[in-house]
Copies of this chain bind each other. A is one copy, B any other.
Amino acid sequence: MFSKILYPTDFSDTAGKSLQYVKALRNTGARKVVLLNVINQRILDSLETIHKVVYFQDGRYVEDREAAIQKLEEERRKKMMPIAAELEAAGFEVIVRIEKGHPVTEILKVEKDEAVSVIVMGSHGRSNIVESLIGTVSEKVVRRSATPVLLVKR
C-alpha cells in the first residue's frame, strides 16, 4: 500500500518535516523511496544572471550554460546525499533523481515512471523569487496524481 514512496524535496523546512513521515511509513511495509529534486525551469531560464559560468577564450569572455547547469546539478546532488543516507539508515532502498523542468509536471512524470504507491510532500515549500511556491505545486499534484498524496503542513 505504501511500498514505494515518492518524496519530492525542495530542501525547505516543510520538506524536512515530510522526511520524518516518510521514515514513519517504513513500518507499513514501505521499502523504496524515490528522492526527487526538480531544478525549476525558472532557474534554468535565469542561469545567465544568477548561476553564470564564464571563462576567457580567444580574447573574450564566454558563457558556458552547460557547465552552469552541471554545477547546479552537482550542488543539488550534494544536498540530497545526507537525505539519502538518512533514508538508507532507516532501512529504505533509495533512488535519487534530479529532474529539470516545471515541478508539478516533473513530479507527476516521476510518479508514473517509477510507479510509486504514494507521494509524501510538504504543502508549502520555499517561497523565494526563483523557486515556485510549493503550496501551489502540492495543490496541483494532488489534483492530477493517480496515487494518494500525504501533505505535510508547515
Q: Is the CB–CB distance between A1 and B24 below 8 Å?
A: yes
| Interface residues in A, total, Cβ within 8 A | 23
Count copies of this chain in the complex.
Answer: 2
Q: Is the CB–CB distance between B21 and A148 below 8 Å?
A: yes
Q: Is the CB–CB distance between A148 and B148 below 8 Å?
A: no
Is A49's CB within 8 Å of the partner chain B?
A: no
Q: Which residues of B contact A27 (CB under 8 A)?
A: 27-29
Q: Which residues of B contact A114 (CB under 8 A)?
A: none
Pick the contact of A142 from B1, B28, B123, B147 — CB < 8 Å? B123
Specify the chain B residue showing the minimal Cβ separation from A29: B27
User: Which residues of chain A from 118 to 154 have a CB within 8 Å of any chain B CB?
Assistant: 118, 123, 139, 142-143, 145-153
Q: Is the CB–CB distance between B147 and A149 below 8 Å?
A: no
Known: A20-B1, A21-B1, A123-B142. A150 touches B153 (CB 8 A): no
Specify the chain B residue showing the minimal Cβ separation from A150: B150
Task: Digitize A15-28: 1 where CB-to-B-CB distance is under 8 Å, 0 elsewhere.
Answer: 00000110011011
Closest 3 CB pairs of A and B: A1-B24, A27-B27, A150-B150
Can you list 26 residue pairs at the A/B interface with Cβ under 8 Å?
A: A1-B20, A1-B21, A1-B24, A2-B24, A24-B28, A24-B29, A25-B28, A27-B28, A27-B29, A28-B28, A118-B150, A123-B142, A123-B149, A139-B142, A142-B142, A142-B151, A145-B153, A146-B153, A147-B153, A148-B150, A148-B151, A148-B152, A148-B153, A149-B150, A150-B150, A151-B151
